[in-house]
Structure 1
């Protein structure tokens, strides 16, 4: 029994914490920042004002996380985010391929709680910040669940709160709303009619019951569905995340008016459901019910802070490569009308670049405060550029960047802006890639410190045998093949058939920009006659002047079929000039005005397990998968396949790295193939496979004659190994014992 006598007043308890890095905000950006810094040796406190991690991807809001792959609806091949963000996506598909948002919560909480250098404070809101000069020194938070105040002293701070709570309280410079066209020469800059901010959305899940379900709308539900100009798009088969365009609030203060916005969104959601259930327009909805509605909105836009570089439209559309490029994006520039669901404009205005664009480190810290990192959707970007960089997997990738940057700043005893200096930024770029963070058009310098590499075998592309299955050429279809500089494309033989004598055009194209997968550079064209089933020869006159991918494109002809193969290959795929309605309206990007964007065709793959390859015979082999690829410092297919792949007959594929003298090794990172083209959306959509077929699931690592480790049940592309004490070795050997069902592929070994 405890008895507390009456007193004049009482205070809640307070805890004093001291740490190297305080990360404010536990969305994907904040979590990745905290994990990266902690793994690099910093003591980290992660403060999250919600009971779960994940932000808009959590079970509280339930939007699927996506990034540069853009639902596999653009031309960004093999562009899924790497590093910790990639680890999260791959682990979620392994544990939770059905896309249950509660299981995604569990995964994120498990990762945070498993990191010994990370202290997690859930349900804790920051309310005060102390500064000294241009540095933040302390932040104060309060947890209403355990009635405890926290006073946290840190050397460095990272704002990943989405709304910029930490930076706002610290007095850092920021912007709200859209810039004028003239400031950055952004032709997508919206006018007043379209509006200057994106609004919020509330999502919902539906379920079909075995018997009719009545619905009585609340008093605040929208009464007149025609207030929503796009109401005719509503169907009874859509789940609430498909109705992302039930959006509102862009004309209001998207921070301080959030409660008002929430109530309006509830009004909209329940009005839409009333219309679906009770209008009589959807008889198939009789047995349907809503099983979940969000209690807080998914927020798109509020404060954007100012760093030493503001990402802008031309950075994205022109794919500018910055000297301090540390990450990348690939989602379209995706702007929504401020009036949201009540707007007569379309739900979004989306324009893609021809490939991925890079994001500079100078956009990831505040120019007002020397120890404040920025990540997530509050980075230094214009409203237009923010329309692309705001998506969650891009935010998660940026989180890892600032976490590792904070660790380097700590080690080098410098502040955040000093790391941006040209003689310093390379240390961050190399470290990111050493730990599996791919950066487009960059590579590791000498990843194995001068080692020679040999392999037990090498897979060469000579023939892909037919499997008896035919695919109709009902849409334009292309085979993506890699060529080395100076290499001539050999004579190609495809197996075709037609129901009558047909002419078929086959073209050869490349990409103007190295590393892109948009076939905007015609190279050659042939026309052949097709009738009886058999091999048909295609010979292009082309010798490559650089490492590149080429497109061998078949024009559509519904009377012709092409034979397929059962072979699946890493870094080689078939794409189609088709439409993904989630991210585009046509099979070609078209601009209905002068928006400063390119027009080009979309060439899209099919999702696992529906990817196909044509049967093929080459007059001479293509060496796509040589062991020396492992020394080029490239982490995935880009300009070439960049992987080592063993021969199909190799019973124990082995790679050996040798040095002239013994090396001291503190850590090493392997990068395997786990289908970097698969979007792996986190929730709701579901996935057919838990592990991608080429992934190496069982391997052994040897140092000279000593077994370092044997890994079973691997499901990750990036596998990092560290030891309490450094090892000395003159030879490292990797033995591959099993994969997830297809041929193995390895992109890189980096040692440090």
Structure 2
């Protein structure tokens, strides 16, 4: 059994806690506890009790799946795991969740865009789309602090999911090749938590927990010859893409002076290559610092310097005399937490590389996709002024696939990853690190973790023998996998003898069962009605047992949807719920020759709608689609029926 020496200083063992209402299918698993510092020097007199005592702040809890890191990848992983039936804990080392996309850092939830084809945008669906649409519903004012609370509500209301904030996973206990328990420190409660689970997902970016578990990882840039990557350096080195701090300004409507803080670092614009002041609304991503050895160890030094460089740039804008248009503009927010792009990359059974992406390699175990440009930032950041801040090496013609074998550890059998710490080369990471792409990987990892718990599988077993089970679940849950249509044998609609539409403006009702739930170039995969108040009627010659009707509507996946720091970037987007989306619908089943309503939905804001009801024996079901959020016709891409 592996144990960090730091935690050997005390003989006091953690004790069991009933703090969290979690049960586990792993309850018969051996409980492992950590030895942590005791509180025997604590001189506490509790006046209410009139007694002296010691605080009891060492606790043990058990669940099925632990997701470490509550950025976009971790949120998607945790929600997917919980929805797939696993008792799940999501850990965030910050008070807010959202990671790089939170109000503390404010990285835009970018995804696939700027493709070199007629679509240009190929937006991500599933969980990462759900909470973005929800944000427009609850946060039309585009407030980042409100965004924090929208996604916090989204996570905390999920059945089977417990969110623990201000909690960092700092160690792991392993037996042979499995993690049995992790040690966490919750600073706000001064509590050590020992969390026992069957499966662990490290979506934290830096991956401290996975590293403490002994998972293999690498840092730095691979040499060009290792994978034949044309954009890699000739020789391998230790450089990792850097972190940035952002800022947001406000037009005060009157002259505003700016006096820089004492830690500001003078900005020498005449020495800076391609770092232009093009706008003054949302700061400058190229205020960035990397590391040529250990970017985690350099974090605090870099953070201080980044704040200095950011204020130095703003001092130049305000006080150089070259930007008179800034005279009424003031700093409204400056990030104090740098957003990091790269650190540890953990090794899976496959290391995804630049050539895989550019050659659009097909993977039988594909579970996600990407398409952001190969966007490698200058290693030295702003301290390498003679280099461009970013090298957009190449754009993509279409989507590339991400294999499941890159999302789990090659040497720790119950450890998965998602986000910027997955098994990719430095050059591949320059594209896969984008937020919405990380979200797709998260949904795949979380779903896989829950399947592993349910069936007593390992991730490797899924990759080698059960990949269809994982892919079918992801497809059912509204994830698109390129070159992989859904063929779920449990979908009863495939056995229907007739599907009738009240009207058809374009497409065909038969396409609702072809397994492709979005628009593809050169292909039609939808049915569209003529007007609202349309219906679909499905008939079986032989009675079936039915308890769920699911459908996927239209949210126009060729249009951007993210919230921006700069509202001027909203051009071309719809600010609010997609007008194409189905707003209200009713499910009716025929029972004893009479149509009976069994479920309905109003004010729907999700592309995937699952309408469940008490199981009924029937030969007919009718889906009444009443209205959209604004479009005159109703479009569906898929309908499914289940017992």
1:660 matches 2:546: no
In structure 1, distance between residues paired with 2:234 and 2:598: 61
TM-score, scaled relative to structure 2? 0.86
Q: 664-673 or 174-183, which moves further after superposition? A: 664-673
TM-score, scaled relative to structure 1? 0.74
Q: Cα distance, 1:5 vs. partner?
A: 9.0
Aligned to 1:265: 306
Could you tell me whether the CA contact under 8 Å between 1:671 and 1:748 is conserved in 2?
yes
Distance 1:668 1:371, change over 3 A: farther
In structure 1, distance between residues paired with 2:187 and 2:359: 48
Could you tell me whether the CA contact under 8 Å between 2:582 and 2:627 is conserved in 1?
yes
Aligned to 2:608: 718
Distance 1:195 1:2, change over 3 A: closer
**After the TM superposition, which residues 9-158 of structure 1 pair with which residues of structure 2 at under 5 Å, given as runs?**
13-69=57-113, 76-77=119-120, 79-158=122-201
Aligned to 1:431: 473
In structure 1, distance between residues paired with 2:241 and 2:550: 40
Q: Cα distance, 1:216 vs. partner?
A: 1.4
1:750 matches 2:640: yes
Aligned residues: 580
| 1:673 paired residue among 554, 564, 574 | 554
Distance 1:722 1:381, change over 3 A: farther
User: For 1:637, what is the secondary structure of its paired residue?
Assistant: coil
Could you tell me whether the CA contact under 8 Å between 1:230 and 1:341 is conserved in 2?
no
Q: Cα distance, 1:119 vs. partner?
A: 1.0
Aligned to 1:628: 510
1:733 matches 2:626: no
Q: Cα distance, 1:39 vs. partner?
A: 0.9
1:456 matches 2:339: no
Could you tell me whether the CA contact under 8 Å between 2:59 and 2:192 is conserved in 1?
yes
Q: Cα distance, 1:660 vs. partner?
A: 2.5
1:166 matches 2:209: yes
Aligned to 1:707: 597
Distance 1:180 1:253, change over 3 A: same
Could you tell me whether the CA contact under 8 Å between 1:652 and 1:737 is conserved in 2?
yes
In structure 2, distance between residues paired with 1:228 and 1:750: 60
- The one-character-per-residue Cα deviations of 1:227-268 (angstroms, maximum 9, x if unpaired) are 75147612563421xx11111123352111100110111111
Aligned to 1:643: 526
Q: Cα distance, 1:162 vs. partner?
A: 0.4
Q: Cα distance, 1:77 vs. partner?
A: 4.7
In structure 1, distance between residues paired with 2:97 and 2:270: 36
In structure 2, distance between residues paired with 1:65 and 1:254: 23
| 2:485 paired residue among 434, 443, 451 | 443
Distance 1:69 1:731, change over 3 A: farther
**After the TM superposition, which residues 201-350 of structure 1 pair with which residues of structure 2 at under 5 Å, given as runs?**
201-226=244-269, 229-230=272-273, 233-235=276-278, 237-240=280-283, 243-343=284-384, 344-350=386-392
In structure 1, distance between residues paired with 2:471 and 2:540: 25
RMSD: 2.2
In structure 2, distance between residues paired with 1:280 and 1:73: 40
In structure 1, distance between residues paired with 2:179 and 2:548: 33
Distance 1:252 1:264, change over 3 A: farther
In structure 1, distance between residues paired with 2:211 and 2:119: 35
Could you tell me whether the CA contact under 8 Å between 1:142 and 1:148 is conserved in 2?
yes
In structure 2, distance between residues paired with 1:411 and 1:432: 16
Q: Cα distance, 1:664 vs. partner?
A: 3.0
Q: Cα distance, 1:450 vs. partner?
A: 1.7
Q: Cα distance, 1:666 vs. partner?
A: 4.7
In structure 2, distance between residues paired with 1:669 and 1:162: 34
Distance 1:10 1:701, change over 3 A: same
In structure 2, distance between residues paired with 1:666 and 1:363: 36
Q: Cα distance, 1:95 vs. partner?
A: 2.6
Aligned to 2:429: 386
Q: Cα distance, 1:354 vs. partner?
A: 0.9
Q: Cα distance, 1:142 vs. partner?
A: 1.1
- The one-character-per-residue Cα deviations of 1:4-40 (angstroms, maximum 9, x if unpaired) are 9998x95651121100001100001111111111111
User: For 2:240, what is the secondary structure of its paired residue?
Assistant: coil
Runs (5+) with no aligned partner, structure 2:
1-44
In structure 2, distance between residues paired with 1:301 and 1:95: 32
Could you tell me whether the CA contact under 8 Å between 1:60 and 1:296 is conserved in 2?
yes
User: For 1:443, what is the secondary structure of its paired residue?
Assistant: coil
In structure 1, distance between residues paired with 2:235 and 2:311: 29
Runs (5+) with no aligned partner, structure 1:
461-624
Could you tell me whether the CA contact under 8 Å between 1:318 and 1:353 is conserved in 2?
no
User: For 1:233, what is the secondary structure of its paired residue?
Assistant: coil
Could you tell me whether the CA contact under 8 Å between 1:93 and 1:680 is conserved in 2?
no
Q: Cα distance, 1:659 vs. partner?
A: 2.0
User: For 1:199, what is the secondary structure of its paired residue?
Assistant: strand
Give the structure with the higher percent strand.
1
Could you tell me whether the CA contact under 8 Å between 2:93 and 2:166 is conserved in 1?
yes
In structure 1, distance between residues paired with 2:353 and 2:279: 39
Q: 77-86 or 259-268, which moves further after superposition? A: 77-86
Could you tell me whether the CA contact under 8 Å between 1:75 and 1:355 is conserved in 2?
no
Distance 1:232 1:378, change over 3 A: closer
- The one-character-per-residue Cα deviations of 1:577-613 (angstroms, maximum 9, x if unpaired) are xxxxxxxxxxxxxxxxxxxxxxxxxxxxxxxxxxxxx
Aligned to 1:618: none
Could you tell me whether the CA contact under 8 Å between 1:324 and 1:425 is conserved in 2?
yes
Aligned to 1:511: none
User: For 2:248, what is the secondary structure of its paired residue?
Assistant: strand
| 2:576 paired residue among 690, 693, 697 | 690
Q: Cα distance, 1:626 vs. partner?
A: 1.1
Could you tell me whether the CA contact under 8 Å between 2:116 and 2:395 is conserved in 1?
no
**After the TM superposition, which residues 467-546 of structure 1 pair with which residues of structure 2 at under 5 Å, given as runs?**
none
User: For 1:205, what is the secondary structure of its paired residue?
Assistant: strand
Could you tell me whether the CA contact under 8 Å between 2:267 and 2:313 is conserved in 1?
no
In structure 2, distance between residues paired with 1:48 and 1:93: 24
In structure 2, distance between residues paired with 1:227 and 1:727: 74
